[in-house]
Amino acid sequence: MFIHAVSRCDTVSALYGQGKKKAFQLIQRDVKSFQFLDCFSNPVSTKEEIASAGERFVLQLYCAWKIQSLDRFRYIAYNHAIGKSSLSTSFKLESLPPTSAAAKQHSYRTFLTVQQWLGNNLNPTEWGWTLTDDILVPVGTDQRVAPECLLKMVSCGCKAGCSRHCSCRKLGLYCSKMCSHCLGQTCSNIPVIDMERSEDI
């Protein structure tokens, strides 16, 4: 159940480039070393246990066996990717591993889903979801995507669409009110939320 949920299902998003087959093969190679994932089946597991186990699993999924933090690994992976890229190629931010904060919310939703499959109904708003206009919306992260001073420096001057050449999009950021033409409202680079109604969870 954990493998199915963590690698994408109806209520849990996918990790970019990390599919079900890879997750299954990883655990099957040495099932005993993944006993720390048993907390996802335990209805009384704490948020700290879930976040810690989830981050540890994601690190191993990305083959980062010796690194303790996804934030640290993301920094290393970013430097490695930038070193291999050229001025003529655009860097895909989504290819980086998630931050620790994003992985925590992903792990919460995984735990909630596994528990629902086991017949234990938990409050979704305590496990990776928030209620907006009576609709459950997934929480991406509980931290800023970048320091405020950096976010204030990023804006685009796209005159139409904000497609693949948009400087905001290339940095993995949505357009904002600072963008000279779209103002973060009239372009294709604004948040689109895949909303799940509470009765579907």
- Same domain? For 64 and 163 the reply is no
Range of the domain at 155: 145-195
pLDDT string in tens for the chain (201-residue length): 999 999 999 999 999 989 999 999 999 999 999 999 999 999 999 999 999 999 999 999 999 999 999 999 999 998 888 777 665 566 777 889 999 999 999 999 999 999 999 999 999 999 999 998 889 999 999 987 667 766 666 788 898 888 888 988 887 788 887 788 888 888 888 876 544 443 444
Collapsing DSSP to helix, strand or coil, 196 comes out as strand
Tell me whether residue 201 is in a domain: no
Collapsing DSSP to helix, strand or coil, 76 comes out as helix
- Same domain? For 45 and 120 the reply is yes
State the CB neighbour count (10 A cutoff) for residue 33.
11
Collapsing DSSP to helix, strand or coil, 131 comes out as strand
- Same domain? For 72 and 15 the reply is yes
- Same domain? For 19 and 101 the reply is yes
Domain total for the chain? 2
